[in-house]
Structure 1
Amino acid sequence: MRHIALHAGLTALLALPLAAAHAAAPADDVMPDKQDPRVVEVAQSDRVINSIAITTSGRFFVSMPGVEGPGPQVAELKDGKFLPFPNLEWSLWKADADPRNTLMHVNTVRVGPDGDLWVVDAGAPRVGGKAVPGAAKIVRIDLKTNKIKRIYQADPSVVREYTYFNDMRFNGKVAYITDAGAINPGIVVLDLASGKMRRVLDTHPATVATHEMYADGGRRIVLKDPIPDNSGKPTKDKFVNVDQLEVSPDGKWFYFQPIGGALSRVPTRLLDDPNAPKERVDAAVEKVIDTWMAAGTAIDAKGNIYMSKVTNRSVMRIAPDGKVTTLVSDPRLTWIDAMWVTREGNLYMPAAQLDRTSANLAGAPAQIEYPVRLYRIAVGAKPAANDHK
């Protein structure tokens, strides 16, 4: 991939103020008006779905962010229906429960290279909300028994006031987690054997959103309830710090970006080394490419990064040589979130419609069109084996 080393540009980037700059609204994207026959509907749901994870045997899991109110947060597709996994009692948040042992706000599910299901509990009720002590964690489920194998609890030293565990990826003996929290975003490195977590790239400019979020055709998202911007001032503009992440198939590079910011990378050998000086890790960050308003990504074994473009209902492909092309544009692809590549060569895409929730419409009634639909498209490439098979 054509990577742009920062050098002098890094100095300028580091000099940016932490308060996110208000960018001009993007030029209106042309919305697609014709369905692409390559896009195949896979399933329907009566609740919003924002991530997909599929086992090699074909078991199909999703996360549900609960925008409709209390309900299952993790579900499995069985006979065309999404059923709470492993059951509703475990999957449902209970306000009076111990947050260390109860799912509070699931943001992502992943099937790891070990075949287990990994559940990311954000630890906060929403992006921009204050973290609940003890809630941020990763839950590992053995899919042979459908029972919890281990809970990786975030040590208080890793959690910040607005911590929001967003997504995770695997690479050998570690996993990387994006903390999209307001004010203090960063990356959390999880040692899978010891369970220890540590933070890197804390509030690095490349982890900070530089502009607010937009939806279809460049519509600016206005929140119902204010959140702090990166300087701590309340705003009803939606800012999401470091969110998307991927690891190169050879395991050498960690890619990351905020929603509203460029795609960057850093060598994994530095992230994995607990003795690497912070200054060295920070200085090793390279800007890869200026992107667009994205909500979800995936990477294949060839090193292609698939990235949704929510302002025109498209999925873009960033090739290893840096070339950007439109994989698909379709009116059904409303706010495509965390995607999944299978060994059959398909890319699965949840049309989450998160821009249509009441919270993202300044408190106006939600405009989600039910059922929420999940799609796939053939991409002719297998998943990166270091993340999943």
Structure 2
Amino acid sequence: MPLARRDLLAAGLTGAATLSLGREAEAAGPPAGATVATRRSAGGLELAFTANAPSTPTGLAIARNGRRFVMMPRFDAKVPYTLGEVMPDGAVRPYPDLATNQPDPEQPQARLFHVPNGVFDRDDTLWCLDAGLPDGSGPPVKGGAKLVQIDLSENRIRRVVPLEAGITPTSSLNDLRVDIRDGHARAYVTDQGQDGEGAILAVDLASGRVVRRLAGHASTKSQKGLLKIVEDRPVVQRKGEGPARPVQGGANGIALSPDGRRLYYAPLIGRRLYAVDTATLLDPEASDAAVAAGVADLGEKGMTGGLTTDSKDRVYLAMQEFNAVGRRDPDGTVTILASDPRLIWADTFWITPDRWLHISAAQVNRRPEYNGGQDLQAPPYIVLRMRIDADPA
């Protein structure tokens, strides 16, 4: 079901939560509790597993052997642990242990502060992104922003890569991609910025060199004048008696092309998809102007959270206003593949080798800061999945 430009704009204004099978179904509305999806040969979304997490699980990573991990950013200091493993019964235990998950500014390299996302590399090693925020805001703890490589066989931290050189006092690191192949080892990190002023960090994992790119560029900034609508309600913050303020966020979701040569990314608050060559991001001789000149605006794609790619270089879109999974094909066509009212704040994707596309329902819009101090989240949190016709990128 191709999505035209006017449909994207209309969706943003009306905050449509689901898409129907046709005009008659849309007029009548879905039956209570029904899964609503667009027509597609591969089927719709189904429940993959539940996670009885102690806080909002934005991140998701699944090992080849089936071990499942969720990442729970410390939006506030009450979050008991920020990285967890999901057990077969849905229970979530701190990973690798509770002690490692206790923030300690005196041990910034050994402790986990605020982990929004993590990924597995091609050797099935877990890499986690730590933004270094002990309570969701303020300057990152000195030395706390880092990449953490974890050995699953021994359940211990193998290596830490500091990101201090690439952050600012208002950084809020959000998403991660790791690319280790053909003799190189690289990582890419989005910084959505606590002030909406985002950037991309390019990391040479061999040397540890970190460079901050595209800071101040339109493609990494929270876009002005846009309002995110999820579950038919605007997502706004209000502090005390002050006015409501729309949520903001710069560079957020990222994805790599199958050959690793292109990085796709988008702001949290923005409707356009962008791409840039990874070689330029990593080139120490390339000026900021040269990097900016290589940014490609790939057009409208809806208001999204996470992104991922498959082996056919198609970009999957966590379409939060639709409670849906979308996809952008290389020719620019944007299609809504499936929509489900359970997909509340569609966030992180994971594609397993058996061609299941997983997506987390993080319920961020139900957090207290967007609901006058009332916590409307309803654990257990769910991860949905659907069949696709391609391998992971």
TM-score (norm 2): 0.83
Partner of 1:247: 256
Unaligned residue ranges in structure 2 (runs of 5+): 1-8, 19-29, 37-42
Instruction: State the identity %.
Output: 31
Task: Provide the rounded CA distance (Å) in 1 between the counterparts of 2:167 and 2:220.
Answer: 16
Output the CA distance in 2 between the equivalents of 1:235 and 1:30: 22
Relative distance call for 1:295 and 1:50 in structure 2 (3 A) is same
Q: 2 CA distance for matches of 1:307 and 1:140?
A: 27
Matched, 1:194 2:200: no
Distance 1:115 1:247 in 2: 17
Q: Does 1:219 align with 2:233?
A: yes
1:282-297 aligned within 5 A: 282-297=292-307
Whole-angstrom CA distance in 2 between matches of 1:218 and 1:26: 10
Q: How does 1:153-168 map to 2 (within 5 A)?
A: 153-155=162-164, 157-168=165-176
Q: Name the residue aligned to 2:378.
A: 369
Moved more, 84-93 or 216-225: 216-225
Partner of 1:53: 61
Does residue 267 (structure 1) correspond to residue 277 (structure 2)? The answer is yes
Q: Identify unmatched segments of 5+ residues in structure 1.
A: 1-22, 227-233, 385-389
Give the structure 2 partner of residue 15 of structure 1. Answer: none
Instruction: Report how far residue 25 of structure 1 moved.
Output: 9.7
Give the secondary-structure state (helix, strand or coil) at the position aligned to 2:252: strand
Q: Is the 1:25–1:218 Cα contact (8 Å) retained in structure 2?
A: no
**Structure 2 counterpart of 1:192, which letter?**
L
Correspondence for 1:383 = 392
The SS at the match of 1:90 is: helix
Residues 215, 41 of structure 1: CA spacing in aligned structure 2 closer, same or farther, 3 A cutoff? same
Structure 1, residues 4-27: CA drift from partner, whole Å, max 9, x if none?
A: xxxxxxxxxxxxxxxxxxx99932
8 Å contact kept, 1:50–1:337:
yes
Question: Pairwise CA RMSD of aligned residues?
Answer: 2.4
Residue among 338, 353, 359 paired with 2:363:
353
CA shift for structure 1 position 160: 0.7
Compare 205-214 and 315-324 and name the one that shifted more: 205-214
Aligned pairs, number = 352
SS in 2 for 1:295: strand
Q: Is the counterpart of residue 330 in structure 1 residue 314 in structure 2?
A: no
- Distance, in Å, in 1 between the alignment partners of 2:346 and 2:17 is 14
- Given that 1:123 and 1:135 are in contact with CA atoms closer than 8 Å, whether structure 2 keeps it comes out as yes
Match of residue 8 from structure 1 = none
Kept after mapping to 1: 8 A contact 2:74/2:135: no
Aligned counterpart in structure 1 of residue 310 of structure 2, from 289, 300, 311: 300
How many Å separate the matches in 1 of 2:244 and 2:220? Answer: 19
Q: Which moved more, 1:65-74 or 1:113-122?
A: 65-74
- Any residues of structure 2 matched to 1:71-150 within 5 Å, and which? 71-80=80-89, 81-94=91-104, 97-125=106-134, 129-150=138-159
- Aligned residues of 1:35 and 1:330 also touching (Cα < 8 A): yes
Counterparts in 2 of 1:378 and 1:126: CA distance versus 1, 3 Å: farther
SS of the aligned residue for 2:348 comes to coil
In structure 1, how many angstroms separate the alpha carbons of the residues matched to 2:380 and 2:196? 35
Shift of 1:114: 2.5
Shift of 1:199: 1.1
Q: 2 CA distance for matches of 1:46 and 1:183?
A: 31
Structure 1: distance between partners of 2:136 and 2:287: 29
Task: Work out the CA distance in 1 between the residues paired with 2:369 and 2:11.
Answer: 20
> Is 1:213–1:259's contact at 8 Å kept on the other side of the alignment?
no
Q: Give the Cα–Cα distance (whole angstroms) in 1 for the partners of residues 306 and 276 of structure 2.
A: 20
Contact preservation (8 Å) 1:28, 1:217: no
- The counterpart of 1:276, out of the listed 261, 264, 286, is 286
Q: Residue 27 in 1 paired to residue 3 in 2?
A: no
Q: CA deviation at 1:151?
A: 0.8
State the shift of 1:42 in Å. 2.2
Q: CA deviation at 1:144?
A: 2.0
Kept in 2: contact 1:42–1:375 (CA 8 A): yes
Q: In the superposition, relative to structure 1, how do residues 209 and 127 fare at CA in structure 2: closer, same or farther (>3 Å)?
A: farther
For the 8 Å contact 1:124–1:162, the answer to whether it is kept is no
- Tell me, in whole angstroms, the C-alpha distance in 2 between the residues paired with 1:73 and 1:369: 18
Q: Normalising by structure 1, report the TM-score.
A: 0.84
* 1-structure distance, mates of 2:17, 2:96: 39
Task: Name whichever of 366-375 and 178-187 sits farther off.
Answer: 178-187
SS in 2 for 1:279: helix
* 2:21 counterpart residue number: none
Corresponding position of 2:73? 65
Letter in 2 for 1:312: F
**Stretch of structure 1 that moved more, 40-49 or 299-308:** 40-49
Cα 1:28/1:209, change in 2 over 3 Å:
same
Return the letter of the residue paired with 2:235. Answer: I
1 CA distance for matches of 2:361 and 2:220? Answer: 25
Report the Cα distance in structure 2 between the residues aligned to 1:131 and 1:200, rounded to whole angstroms: 19
Name the aligned partner's letter for residue 117 of structure 1: L
Q: Which amino acid aligns with 2:101?
A: S
- Distance in 1 separating the partners of 2:290 and 2:196: 22
